[in-house]
């Protein structure tokens, strides 16, 4: 049996051709521009490019999408540093220290450090992905209908919990709504058309891409055109290549943020933004100079950027092993893989044994391209930030429309996109997260088919849902996730911790 | 403490309750012994459960908003007028209307690149992004670019 690194090298060599390199560089560049421009997110970029690359050879299409993903998450730090506006939600934490650095005239150094930290984060994440996916894949082979049903519910609950930290109820509502949206149209067991009301187009259900482009893209376009124009970019960039000592001195933050990013990424539906904030928070707590955080701390910037990029690899782990996306952009990547004939999930290791290594090789190429472009074309990229929103947003709208239409060549999909754009806009304004909705659309079919299939297998006996070991673990996790947000639980926990603490404290006599 | 989304939550809760009740009724009306499958394999099984879950959450959201402090639940005429006259609302409405008209014209007799050029130029000029000549040139280039890439390169028939 060949070793993993050798297989990755083999795949890397297979991919090294001029045409692949050409696609890698232009798509990473486009991804970085998408990430840089406030209002355009990595999710939206991948969704748009899924439509654009639909007619391409599957391997080429996936490599382009991975490059856009990596490029967008890396590129988002540009506007965070220069404008104090995160290019993507993942780069929000980078604003806190990146912008003060730019104000001090150290914008170039901040961009260089952010790019290098992003590169290290991506590489760390992809190696974790290559190592853990086969392991999780083996465990996933023990998953059956009962477990898959609970996994879908767990995904929705934890995603709702983490993407709506102030009000998880809204996250769960969005998730349940997403599950219901996915169940419109013909179902897989009896071919009955649910909620189609006699419309032929509705019988096919709502495709993921139009829903996703609507919720993220159209909502963004409407929001972007409603709000006032952007402030001016700080033009002074300065030195870009980072100093080695800046990285070596902060190796602990890099390692810690890498691990946090991978773990957060592997949790279904929880994306790069959460990874970045958690990494930032941990870095601040462990820093010797926490007072510098928020005032231009290199530690904060490095932690945030390493965390969000390490999340990419982490988010792909459940995509490949369980067919459950770790983040919103990973959800689109999952859909794109399906569109191109790859079936991620427990059977991936049997059907496409080399696919994990292939994806790892693609990510290595994407991370290198991203680093080179980041460090080489900073000044050129900064100029793109000057494009006015009224010029940019209608172009994005046109791309959203054509991207949604190209998947099935149906005008109906354009209307689906439009309606979900309005829903997405309303959700955003009323504090409902979009990620659980998208995750729900992806996991809906899994929950539906597996629940009914499990009941058929046990002739209607529901006890298996609660007695199988993995199911039981998932149920406990779901309950814990839900009650962990209640006041009663929090009060009980703090009381319990205080009591236990008292037991171990030395008594004064 | 004042809760920012009190009014929105109340009305959203009512809508969620309405939608979930509709889902539950529709799920109940779905055939329960289709193609001799037992009732637990019925197509309305999971949708009914999800509808019930959504109903519970909708009720919690509505009751919670009633109990919390914040804006009064009833709308006043002045609130609606203030919202409608806000320049941001007008910009949103205009963008929404232009985009809706664009979507309505797609797939009709006019060629794709013509509809797209008109839409792009109209938005850019209306929102004063750039001058009219520049806007027209950019719009035409983008529309032709998108049309060529999709139609010639990816062989996707244009709407």
What are the strands, taking DSSP E only, across A237-303? none
* Helices and strands (DSSP H and E) totals, chain A: 25, 2
Return the ∠ at Cα B35 (arms to B32 and B41), rounded to 5°: 45
Distance separating alpha carbons of residues A422 and A222, to the nearest angstrom: 9
In tens, the pLDDT along A34-49 reads 888 766 778 878 887 8
- The verdict on residue A478 lying in a domain is no
Q: How far is CA B86 from CA A172, A227, A478, B79, in A?
A: 32, 11, 43, 11
What's the token pair of residue A308? 């969000």
Q: Which residue of B has its CA nearest to A389?
A: B129
Chain B nearest C-alpha distance from A72 (Å): 21
Q: Which residues contact B47 (CB under 8 A, 6 or more apart)?
A: A180, A183, A194, A195, A448, B23, B26, B27, B30
Contact A36, A94 (CB under 8 A): no
Chain A interface, best mutation among B15, B92, B129, B142, by max A CB count within 10 A: B129
Rounded to 5°, angle at Cα A425 from A423 and A430: 95
How many distinct structural domains can be found in chain A? 1
**pLDDT higher than 70, residue A2:** no
Nearest CA to CA, how far is B73 from chain A (Å)?
15
pLDDT over 80 (residue A86) = no
DSSP-derived pairing of the beta strands B69-70 and B2-3: parallel
Quick one: pLDDT band at residue B4, thresholds 50, 70, 90? Answer: confident
Indicate the pLDDT class of residue B28, thresholds 50, 70 and 90. very high
Does residue A206 carry a pLDDT above 60? yes
- Angle among Cα B117, B120, B123 to the nearest 5 degrees reads 145
Distance (Å) from the alpha carbon of B74 to chain A's nearest alpha carbon? 17
Interhelix angle for A58-83 vs A92-103, to 10°? 50
| Binary contact (B120, A221; C-beta < 8 A) | no
Higher-confidence position of B1 and B98: B98
Poorest-confidence range of A380-384, B36-40, B114-118, B119-123? Answer: A380-384
Q: Is B47 on the interface with A (CB under 8 A)?
A: yes
Residues 6+ apart with CB under 8 A from A224: A38, A39, A389, A392, A393
Which of A7-21, A392-406, B38-52, B66-80 is predicted least confidently? B66-80
Count of CB atoms situated within 10 Å of the CB of B121? 22
The 10s digit of each residue's pLDDT in A431-466 is 898 888 988 888 888 899 999 999 998 888 888 889
CA A360 to chain centre: 17
| Average pLDDT score over chain B | 89
Residue A411 with chain B: CB contacts under 8 Å: 106-107, 159
- Give Cα separations from A208 to A87, A316, A331, B110 (angstroms): 24, 18, 9, 28
- The two beta strands, A185-186 and B69-70, are unpaired
Beta bridge partners of B3: B70
* A7 has a pLDDT exceeding 60: yes
Q: How high is the pLDDT of residue A180?
A: 95
Q: Which of A184-193, A259-268, B21-30 has the highest mean pLDDT?
A: B21-30
Q: Are B62 and A188 in contact (CB under 8 A)?
A: no
Of A329, A307, A310, nearest in space to A319 by CA: A329
The answer to whether B130 contacts chain A (CB < 8 Å) is: yes
Looking at the domain assignment, is residue A503 inside a domain? no
Out of A225, A430, A460, whose CB is closest to B91? A225
A470-491 mean pLDDT: 85
Closest A-chain CA to B6: A430
Per the prediction, chain A carries an average pLDDT of 84
Say whether B134 sits in a helix, a strand or coil. Answer: helix
**Can you tell me which residue has the tokens 């998932």?**
A474
* Closest CA–CA distance from residue B98 to any residue of chain A (Å): 10
Answering whether pTM is above 0.90, one says no
| Residue A179 confidence (pLDDT) | 94
- Nearest of A266, A375, A312 to residue A88 by alpha carbon: A312
Residue of B4, B92, B96 to mutate for A, most A C-beta atoms under 10 A: B96
In chain A, the percentage of residues whose pLDDT exceeds 90 is 19
Q: Which of A358-362, A401-405, B150-154 has the highest mean pLDDT?
A: A358-362
User: What is the predicted pLDDT for the residue at A497?
Assistant: 75
Rounded distance between C-alpha atoms, residue B43 and residue A186, angstroms: 9
pLDDT, tens only, A262-277? 988 888 767 788 888 8
Name the burial class of residue A460, with classes exposed (0-12), middle (13-18) and buried (19+) by CB atoms within 10 angstroms of its CB: exposed
As beta bridge partners, residue A185 has: A194
The residue of chain B with its CA nearest to that of A184 is B47
Predicted confidence band of residue B104 (pLDDT cuts 50, 70, 90): very high
Classify residue A451 as exposed, middle or buried by CB count within 10 Å of its CB (0-12, 13-18, 19+): buried
Q: Which CA distances in Å does A252 have to A256, A259, A299, B110?
A: 6, 11, 10, 61
CA dist A465 and A147 (Å) reads 8
Contact of B48 with chain A, judged by CB distance below 8 Å, is answered with no
Q: How confident is the model at residue B155 (pLDDT cuts 50, 70, 90)?
A: confident
**pLDDT at A269 (0 to 100):** 66
pLDDT value, residue A135: 81
pLDDT at A277: 85
* pLDDT exceeds cutoff 70 at A113: yes
Asked if B136 reaches chain A (Cβ–Cβ under 8 Å), the answer is no
Out of A180, A431, A452, closest to residue B50 by CB:
A180
Task: Name the residue of chain A whose CA is nearest to B33's CA.
Answer: A190
Span of A168-177, A500-509, B129-138, B141-150 with lowest mean pLDDT: A500-509
Q: Look at residue A228 in the predicted model and tell me its pLDDT.
A: 58
pLDDT in tens, A276-301: 888 888 888 888 888 888 888 888 89
How does residue A508 score in pLDDT terms, banded at 50, 70 and 90? low
- CB pairs below 8 Å between A and B: how many? 159
List, as one string, the DSSP characters of A495-507: HHHHHHHHHHSPP
Predicted local distance difference test score (pLDDT) of residue A367: 92
State whether A456 and B96 contact (CB < 8 Å). no
On the 0-12 / 13-18 / 19+ scale of CB atoms within 10 A, B14 is middle
Residue A173 to residue B57, Cβ atoms within 8 A? yes
Asked whether the beta carbons of residue B120 and residue A394 sit closer than 8 angstroms, the reply is yes
Residue A427 in domain: yes
pLDDT tens for residues A354-399? 888 889 999 999 999 999 988 887 777 677 767 787 888 898 899 8
The mean per-residue pLDDT over the stretch A322-333 comes to 83
Instruction: Provide the 3-class DSSP secondary structure of residue B2.
Output: strand
Q: Where is mean pLDDT largest: A164-178, B47-61, B69-83?
A: B47-61
> Is there a contact between A393 and B16 if contact means CB atoms under 8 Å apart?
no
Smallest CA–CA separation between B154 and chain A, in Å? 5
Alpha helices in A189-297 (DSSP H): 200-203, 208-212, 219-226, 244-248, 251-266, 272-286
Considering only CA atoms, give the Rg of chain A. 23
What residues contact residue B84 under an 8 Å CB cut-off, 6+ apart?
Answer: none
A448 contact residues in B (CB cutoff 8 A): 46-47
Angle of helix A107-140 versus helix A92-103 axis, rounded to 10: 160
Which among A386-395, A478-487, B12-21 has the top mean pLDDT?
B12-21
pLDDT attached to residue A163? 77
Angle at A271 between CA A145 and CA A162, to 5 degrees: 80
A423 versus A42: the higher-pLDDT residue is: A423
Residues spanned by the domain of A97? 4-227+234-467
Answer whether B116 sits within 8 Å of A398, measured CB to CB: yes
Residue A313, both tokens: 């690899």
Q: Is A505 exposed, middle or buried (0-12, 13-18, 19+ CB in 10 A)?
A: exposed
């Amino acid at each position: 049996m060949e070793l993993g690194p050798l297989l990755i090298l083999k795949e890397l060599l297979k991919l090294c051709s001029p045409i692949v390199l050409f696609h890698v560089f232009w798509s990473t560049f486009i991804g970085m521009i998408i990430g840089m421009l406030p209002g355009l997110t990595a999710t939206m970029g991948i969704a748009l490019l899924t439509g654009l690359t639909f007619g391409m050879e599957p391997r080429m299409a996936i490599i382009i999408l991975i490059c856009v993903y990596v490029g967008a998450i890396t590129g988002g730090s540009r506007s965070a540093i220069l404008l104090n506006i995160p290019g993507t939600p993942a780069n929000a934490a980078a604003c806190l220290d990146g912008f003060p650095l730019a104000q001090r005239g150290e914008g170039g150094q901040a961009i260089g450090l952010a790019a290098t930290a992003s590169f290290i984060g991506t590489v760390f994440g992809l190696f974790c992905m290559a190592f853990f996916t086969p392991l999780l894949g083996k465990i996933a082979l023990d998953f059956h209908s009962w477990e898959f049903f609970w996994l879908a519910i767990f995904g929705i609950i934890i995603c709702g919990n983490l993407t709506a930290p102030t009000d998880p109820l809204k996250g769960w509502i969005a998730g349940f709504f997403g599950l219901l949206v996915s169940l419109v149209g013909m179902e897989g067991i009896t071919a009955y058309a649910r909620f189609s009301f006699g419309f032929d187009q509705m019988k096919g259900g709502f495709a993921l891409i139009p829903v996703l482009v609507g919720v993220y893209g159209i909502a963004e376009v409407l929001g972007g055109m409603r709000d006032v124009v952007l402030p001016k970019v700080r033009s002074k960039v300065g030195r870009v290549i980072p100093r080695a000592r800046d990285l070596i001195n902060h190796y602990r933050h890099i390692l810690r943020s890498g691990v946090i990013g991978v773990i957060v990424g592997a949790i279904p539906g929880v994306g790069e933004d959460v990874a970045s904030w958690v990494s930032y928070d941990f870095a601040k707590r462990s820093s010797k100079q926490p007072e510098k955080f928020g005032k231009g701390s290199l530690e904060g910037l490095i932690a945030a950027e390493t965390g969000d990029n390490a999340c990419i690899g982490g988010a792909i782990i459940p995509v490949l092993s369980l067919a459950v996306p770790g983040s919103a952009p990973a959800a689109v990547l999952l859909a794109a893989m399906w569109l191109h004939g790859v079936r991620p999930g427990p059977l991936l290791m049997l059907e496409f044994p080399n696919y994990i290594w292939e994806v790892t090789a693609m990510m290595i190429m994407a991370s290198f391209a991203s680093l080179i472009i980041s460090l080489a074309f900073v000044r050129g990229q900064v100029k793109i930030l000057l494009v006015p929103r009224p010029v940019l947003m209608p172009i994005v709208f046109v791309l959203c429309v054509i991207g949604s239409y190209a998947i099935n060549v149906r005008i109906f999909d354009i209307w689906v996109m439009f309606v979900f754009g309005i829903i997405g806009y309303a959700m955003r304004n009323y504090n409902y997260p979009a990620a659980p909705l998208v995750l729900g659309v992806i996991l809906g079919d899994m929950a539906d088919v597996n629940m009914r299939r499990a009941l058929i297998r046990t002739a209607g006996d529901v006890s298996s849902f609660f007695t199988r070991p993995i199911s039981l673990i998932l149920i406990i996790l779901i309950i814990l996730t839900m009650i962990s947000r209640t006041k009663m639980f929090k009060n009980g926990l703090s009381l319990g911790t205080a009591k236990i603490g008292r037991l171990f404290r030395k008594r004064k006599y | 403490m004042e809760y920012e989304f009190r009014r929105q939550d109340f009305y959203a809760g009512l809508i969620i309750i309405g939608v979930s009740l509709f889902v539950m009724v529709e799920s109940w009306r779905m055939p329960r012994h289709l193609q001799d499958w037992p009732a637990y394999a019925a197509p309305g099984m999971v949708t009914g459960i999800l509808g019930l879950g959504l109903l519970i959450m909708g009720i919690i959201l509505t009751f919670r908003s009633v109990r919390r402090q914040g804006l009064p639940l009833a709308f006043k005429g002045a609130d609606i007028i203030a919202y409608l006259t806000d320049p941001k609302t007008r910009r949103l409405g205009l963008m929404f209307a232009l985009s809706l008209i664009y979507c309505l014209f797609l797939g009709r007799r006019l060629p794709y690149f013509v509809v797209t050029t008109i839409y792009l130029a109209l938005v850019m000029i209306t929102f004063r992004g750039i001058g009219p000549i520049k806007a027209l040139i950019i719009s035409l280039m983008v529309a032709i670019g998108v049309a060529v890439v999709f139609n010639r390169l990816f062989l996707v028939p244009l709407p």
